[in-house]
Chain A
Amino acid sequence: MSLLDIENLKVYFATRAGIVRAVDGVDLNVGIGEVLGLAGESGSGKTTLGYALMRVLPRNAKLDGRIIFEGRDLLSFSATEFNRVRGREIAMVFQGSMNSLNPVVRVEDQVAEPLILHGGLSEDEAKKRARELLAEVGVSEDKAKSYPHELSGGLKQRVAIAMAISTRPKLLIADEPTTALDVVTQAQILRLISELRDRFGLSVIMISHDLSLLSEVCDRLAIMYAGKIVEVGSKVEVVNTPEHPYTQALLASIPSVERVGVDSPSIPGEPPDPINPPSGCRFMPRCAYARSECKEFNGYLYELSSTHRAACVLVGGKPIERVPR
């Protein structure tokens, strides 16, 4: 069952240089207790999509489309109404949030603070709860009394995750939760997120540029390019039978311990200008299979299986009708 349905979501930024189409017509859904991986290069719009779900966008942003969360259209919510959703039902671990802890407050007090302010707990209750939460994410009681600078990167990220899940949200958005962490710590944090899903039935959107990392922990993968989803499917479908040429190129470019002494083929060219994206398929200028029809392509996600879809004219499936509204 779907917890979240995103329909034709657009996030445009008005800038002096023109309109930046950061997210440009995204359809995506997340099931209950599912971990969805959102992969793409820097600038593909994956973080902006996360911000749109949390509605933490700058003033020059314009949102359009529908975000249906448990049957409610979140975009119709007023700012005050949305305050009851943000952080409580949908929480986000922002990129680099482990570095935005308050340096002069003990971490258990930082975790307790929102529980007092928003959860209505007394100071003692909140502290007790904070210690429980920190224990859940693997921060021991003596470390809970530390200041952020006394903790390693991995422990700080655990604290940031504890704060995000303190309200028992239904959906957790984790934006590059392991960049700047070591490989061993990275695996430990990924395992923690998996465990939280198993224990609490949490749904997770994990954002990363590293497809191999996402493929280890996610049930489904969505590939984003220049503001659009170009392919979505189960982890096995996307990794083993990628249909979009961009997904294929992205998979092939990843260095691997299996390929000793071999350069992985890179994707030629640069991502398009988000102000003036090419008409038709946005990947066409970099695509090895480009042909004339690609110029007219409207970005439909063709259905390849009940779970697998790809937006490419070369894909043999049939176009999916958008839900009329």
Chain B
Amino acid sequence: MEVNPLSEYLVSGVKLTKHFESRRSPIEFLTGRRPPPIRAVDGVNIEIQRGEILALVGESGSGKTTLGRLLLLLEKPTSGEVWFDGQRIDNVGSRTLRAYRRRMQMIYQDPYGSLNPKLRVSEIVSEPLRVNGIEVKKDRLAEYLAVSGLRPPEKFLDRYPHELSGGQRQRVAIARAMILEPEFVVADEPVSMLDVSLRSEILGVIKRFNQMLKTSFLLITHDLAVAAQVSSRIMVMYLGRVVEEGDTLGVLRRPKHPYTQTLLSVVPRLGGSLPKTLPKGEIPSAKNIPSGCRFHTRCAYALPVCSTDEPELRLVDGSHVSCHFAEQILSGSTKQSTS
């Protein structure tokens, strides 16, 4: 096993790439041609520090969920490396990997689909303990339910999922993910199915566990308002690549990449109005990624060079940005083409 004891990061991905094979169309089948692969994640470097909440933001189809699954090794990378606690873990055997599994967990989007309807809350939350041969103490279950906001916990221990509201279910799902005191948790859109009025509270639960157990979180979301509340850093993905990465305040107050600016402009604001310019069309297919800068087909600032040269991530005003014209856009010397 490769070891890097000097790593300051808990989790990191190096040039992570995941290509899925797409199904052959009838014509491709007859001609024997191979369809182009779906390039879900395409050479991403990511580092997560101990105890931090990193928000991974992008539209569906940007590859953010796949990246989260790669870091948990729920998906095997096509190429690249995954490191956890100073050790490379993407090339180890399944038995070695199992020891790491309980140190990382996942929280899913759908609290209606992720809880076993036949188990009581106490059984759902204690299951990870039983699977790992750890004694189940009722006090511990009660404590985790209480931190998750299910108070008094005794009232909830014997309930079934169908007796709970969506918000309560998600609290149970979080308690279950946290009970093994994992060091790293991927939370995939944990609040997007909940009422807006509940979101802040559930994010507060995640923050509480983050402070209590010093757990690192990768918070996957398409909503920058969610990232604003709890994350310390934001990473923005578009079509399998990172387009901007920086501390939360810097990304939200001075977004440099046109895509980040777009995402920020479409976040609904109380008493606001719809943005005057919206990006053209939809995110292209990961099977057919545009040449040059992947965003150029929808970018209001695009110039000829954008369709030929793919920009590298570089440091601009405190954030890492992959845009040829980040400085000009930031200073306002580049004109937006009207769409």
A residues sitting closer than 8 Å to B (CB atoms) are 41-42, 152-155, 182-188, 190-191, 194, 209-213, 215-217, 235-236, 239-240, 249-251, 253-267, 270
Chain A residues lying within 8 Å of B228, measured Cβ to Cβ, are 255-261
Beta-carbon contact of B200 and A264 below 8 Å: yes
Cβ of B328 under 8 Å from chain A: no
The docked-state distance in angstroms from the alpha carbon of A184 to that of B295 is 14
Q: A263-B207, A264-B229 are in contact. Are A209 and B252 (CB under 8 A)?
A: no
State the Cβ distance, B113 to closest chain A Cβ, in Å.
Answer: 14
Chain A residues lying within 8 Å of B165, measured Cβ to Cβ, are 42, 270
Chain A residues lying within 8 Å of B199, measured Cβ to Cβ, are 254-255
Chain A residues lying within 8 Å of B59, measured Cβ to Cβ, are 182-185
State the Cβ distance, B220 to closest chain A Cβ, in Å.
Answer: 13
State the Cβ distance, B275 to closest chain A Cβ, in Å.
Answer: 6
Q: A183-B59, A194-B274 are in contact. Are A209 and B267 (CB under 8 A)?
A: no
Chain B residues lying within 8 Å of A216, measured Cβ to Cβ, are 268-269, 272-274
Segment at the A interface, from B88-96, B115-123, B170-178, B258-266: B258-266
Can you name the residue of chain B whose Cβ is closest to the Cβ of A44? B195
- Which of A42, A187, A240 touches B275 (beta carbons < 8 Å)? A187
Q: A256-B269, A264-B200 are in contact. Are A187 and B274 (CB under 8 A)?
A: yes
Chain A residues lying within 8 Å of B236, measured Cβ to Cβ, are none
Beta-carbon contact of A260 and B271 below 8 Å: no
Can you name the residue of chain B whose Cβ is closest to the Cβ of A155? B282
Interface centre among A153, A257, A262, A270, by most chain B C-beta atoms within 10 angstroms, is A257
> Could you write out 28 A-B pairs with CB less than 8 Å apart?
A42-B165, A42-B195, A182-B60, A184-B59, A184-B266, A188-B278, A209-B195, A209-B196, A210-B268, A212-B269, A215-B271, A216-B268, A216-B272, A235-B271, A239-B270, A253-B197, A253-B200, A254-B199, A255-B228, A255-B229, A256-B270, A258-B269, A261-B229, A261-B230, A263-B201, A263-B203, A263-B207, A264-B229
Chain A residues lying within 8 Å of B166, measured Cβ to Cβ, are 42
The docked-state distance in angstroms from the alpha carbon of A244 to that of B166 is 25
B residues sitting closer than 8 Å to A (CB atoms) are 59-60, 165-166, 195-201, 203-204, 207, 222-226, 228-230, 248-249, 252-253, 262-264, 266-275, 278-279, 282-283
Number of A-B contacts (CB under 8 A): 136
Chain A residues lying within 8 Å of B272, measured Cβ to Cβ, are 212, 215-216
The docked-state distance in angstroms from the alpha carbon of A16 to that of B198 is 30
Chain B residues lying within 8 Å of A263, measured Cβ to Cβ, are 200-201, 203-204, 207, 229
The docked-state distance in angstroms from the alpha carbon of A11 to that of B274 is 34
Can you name the residue of chain B whose Cβ is closest to the Cβ of A262? B229
The docked-state distance in angstroms from the alpha carbon of A173 to that of B292 is 43
Beta-carbon contact of A267 and B197 below 8 Å: yes
- Which of A240, A260, A267, A270 touches B249 (beta carbons < 8 Å)? A260
- Which of B196, B266, B267 touches A211 (beta carbons < 8 Å)? B196
Beta-carbon contact of A213 and B268 below 8 Å: yes
Chain A residues lying within 8 Å of B204, measured Cβ to Cβ, are 263, 266
Can you name the residue of chain A whose Cβ is closest to the Cβ of B279? A184
7 residue pairs, one from A and one from B, having the closest CB atoms: A264-B200, A266-B201, A212-B268, A239-B271, A187-B266, A213-B268, A253-B197
The docked-state distance in angstroms from the alpha carbon of A132 to that of B166 is 40
Chain B residues lying within 8 Å of A258, measured Cβ to Cβ, are 228, 269
Beta-carbon contact of A185 and B268 below 8 Å: no
Interface centre among A184, A185, A259, A265, by most chain B C-beta atoms within 10 angstroms, is A184
The docked-state distance in angstroms from the alpha carbon of A222 to that of B224 is 26
State the Cβ distance, B339 to closest chain A Cβ, in Å.
Answer: 12
State the Cβ distance, A269 to closest chain B Cβ, in Å.
Answer: 11
- Which of A153, A183, A264, A265 touches B263 (beta carbons < 8 Å)? A183
Beta-carbon contact of B252 and A260 below 8 Å: yes
Q: A183-B266, A211-B196, A239-B270 are in contact. Are A257 and B225 (CB under 8 A)?
A: yes
The docked-state distance in angstroms from the alpha carbon of A194 to that of B274 is 10
Q: A191-B274, A263-B229 are in contact. Are A257 and B197 (CB under 8 A)?
A: no
State the Cβ distance, B10 to closest chain A Cβ, in Å.
Answer: 21
Beta-carbon contact of A257 and B278 below 8 Å: no
Can you name the residue of chain A whose Cβ is closest to the Cβ of B204? A263
